């Protein structure tokens, strides 16, 4: 659904590359001590080729639809200390975990270390060049800046007292031919975020919970009227789209989760004609809990998801990762989804934990591009140390 025309804005200021880089050895609750790259960075214009915010597509050129190119990259805001980087110095990128590298996912295509609010469109300009847009999809209202804060290279969503939810998304819909602006992802990827929250706050939350997830950008901008999510050969308005939930601390309103030792990670295959809700939601019911082996705590943990598309006769799969250990069964699929009904459609559940069970269910993900979302209840704040995506 469109969000209106893009408000005219002045080009984002460009400046010489300046950065302060500090390597910190940090120990996660998993016992590992990865190196975390902390930096405050002003990017020079030539860096725009180093990080394009549009998309990273493993598809033929004819299949790629382009969003507007960025006019520039936001400079570091006042108060962020910077030190010059020697000319010709190369900014090191954090390496992927081994299981991602073994799949060839070595290229860091998206990264936000939350060193500066300049990566977030807190002014709701809808301009290109941001990592995040302060908006929740389909609601039509912006996230107030007072509900987003940043300190010591950690993002906090939620002010702790306001009613309702708070969200940042990597791409938003536009009422222009480009359809969207922001970062979307297609093809094999490993998505990872380092997140912390206080389980005790769950008893105050009524509308949402800590979550980081992805939705097909085609559905975000298509709403219920255009053709990009129309299932070919079906009645007008019969849509088909994917949702991939990397991490959701699902709970009932005001439920106390302090005794829990799990979270939810799942994939959804949505379809049908919208009539107040989407009628068909297939997901691997009973196979979505990721057990972490201990009670939930207030420390930082990494929540990740591997996505590998199908290739020829080889099925694709998704798999969930906690503290850089693969904790869940894979869900396999092999498309394309030619016509409904899909396996699992009548029962609204389908689990394919071995390649032999792969079917067209969930395979629509191979035809769409994922936009990212960080979301929680205002009364259940969520802290985010970084978000990273590695691809081929």
Pick from 109, 158, 139, 189: nearest CA to 378: 158
**Whole-number Å distance between alpha carbons of 309 and 281:** 21
pLDDT in tens, 72-100: 233 222 222 233 335 445 557 899 999 99
Count the neighbouring beta carbons within 10 Å of the beta carbon of residue 48: 17
**pLDDT band (50, 70, 90) for residue 190:** very high
Rounded-to-10 torsion of CA 97, 99, 101, 105:
-100
Query: For the chain, what is the radius of gyration of the CA atoms?
Result: 20
Rounded-to-integer distance, Cα 392 and Cα 388, Å: 14
Rounded CA separation 309/318 (Å): 9
pLDDT at residue 109 is higher than 60: yes
User: DSSP 3-state assignment of 102?
Assistant: helix
H-state helical runs in the chain: 98-102, 217-222
Confidence of residue 38 (pLDDT cuts 50, 70, 90): very low
| Structure confidence at residue 139 (pLDDT) | 85
By three-state DSSP, how is residue 126 classified? coil
Q: How confident is the model at residue 369 (pLDDT cuts 50, 70, 90)?
A: very high
How far from the centroid of its chain's Cα atoms is residue 51's Cα? Answer: 17
DSSP-derived secondary structure for 140-164: --BPPGGGEEEETTEEEE--SSSSS
Task: Tell me which of 62 and 245 has the higher pLDDT.
Answer: 245
User: What Cα–Cα distance (Å) separates residue 20 from each residue in 17, 38, 228?
Assistant: 10, 8, 43
d(CA 11, CA 45): 12
Per the prediction, the chain carries an average pLDDT of: 80
Q: Quickly state the pLDDT bin for 326 (edges 50, 70, 90).
A: confident
CA 99 to chain centroid: 20
Over residues 291-300, the pLDDT tens digits come to: 888 899 999 9
Please count the other Cβ atoms lying within 10 Å of the Cβ belonging to residue 379: 23
What gap in Å lies between CA 167 and CA 49, rounded to an integer? 28
Picking from 154-163, 226-235, 337-346, which range would have the lowest pLDDT averaged per residue?
A: 226-235
14: pLDDT strictly greater than 50: no
Alpha-carbon distance values, 172 to 12, 218, 268, 341, 370 (Å): 19, 11, 20, 31, 12
CATH class of 94-391: mainly beta
pTM of the model: 0.78
Q: Which residue has the tokens 């394309």?
A: 336
């Amino acid at each position: 659904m469109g969000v209106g025309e893009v408000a005219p804005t002045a080009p984002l200021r460009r400046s010489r590359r300046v950065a302060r880089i500090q390597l910190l050895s940090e120990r996660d609750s998993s016992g590992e001590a990865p190196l975390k790259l902390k930096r405050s960075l002003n990017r020079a214009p030539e860096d725009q080729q180093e990080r394009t915010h549009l998309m990273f597509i493993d598809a033929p050129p004819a299949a790629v639809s382009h969003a507007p190119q960025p006019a520039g990259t936001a400079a570091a805001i006042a108060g962020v200390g910077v030190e010059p980087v020697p000319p010709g110095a190369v900014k090191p990128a954090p390496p992927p975990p081994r299981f991602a590298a073994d799949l060839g996912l070595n290229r860091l295509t998206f990264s936000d270390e939350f060193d500066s609010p300049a990566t977030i469109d807190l002014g709701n300009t809808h301009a290109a060049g941001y990592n995040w847009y302060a908006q929740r999809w389909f609601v039509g209202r912006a996230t107030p800046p007072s509900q987003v804060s940043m300190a010591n290279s950690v993002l906090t969503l939620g002010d702790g007292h306001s009613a309702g939810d708070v969200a940042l998304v990597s791409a938003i819909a536009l009422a222009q031919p480009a359809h969207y602006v922001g970062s979307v992802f297609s093809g094999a990827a490993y998505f990872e975020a380092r997140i912390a929250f206080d389980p005790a706050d769950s008893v105050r939350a009524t509308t949402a919970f800590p979550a980081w997830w992805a939705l097909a950008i085609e559905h975000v901008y298509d709403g219920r009227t255009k053709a990009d999510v129309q299932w070919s050969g079906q009645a007008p308005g019969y849509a088909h789209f994917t949702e991939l939930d990397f991490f959701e601390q699902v709970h009932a309103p005001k439920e106390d989760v302090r005794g829990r030792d799990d979270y939810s990670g799942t994939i959804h295959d949505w379809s049908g004609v919208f009539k107040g809700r989407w009628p068909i939601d297939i997901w691997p019911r009973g196979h979505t809990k990721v057990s972490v082996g201990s009670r939930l705590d207030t420390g930082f943990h990494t929540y990740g998801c591997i996505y590998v598309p199908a290739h020829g006769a080889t099925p694709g799969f998704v798999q969930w990762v906690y503290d850089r250990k693969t904790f869940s069964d894979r869900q396999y699929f092999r498309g394309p989804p030619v016509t409904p009904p899909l396996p699992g459609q009548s029962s609204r559940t389908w689990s394919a934990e071995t390649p032999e069970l792969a079917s067209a269910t969930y395979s629509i993900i191979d035809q769409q591009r994922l936009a990212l979302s960080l979301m929680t209840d205002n009364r259940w704040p969520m802290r985010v140390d970084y978000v990273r995506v590695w691809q081929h």
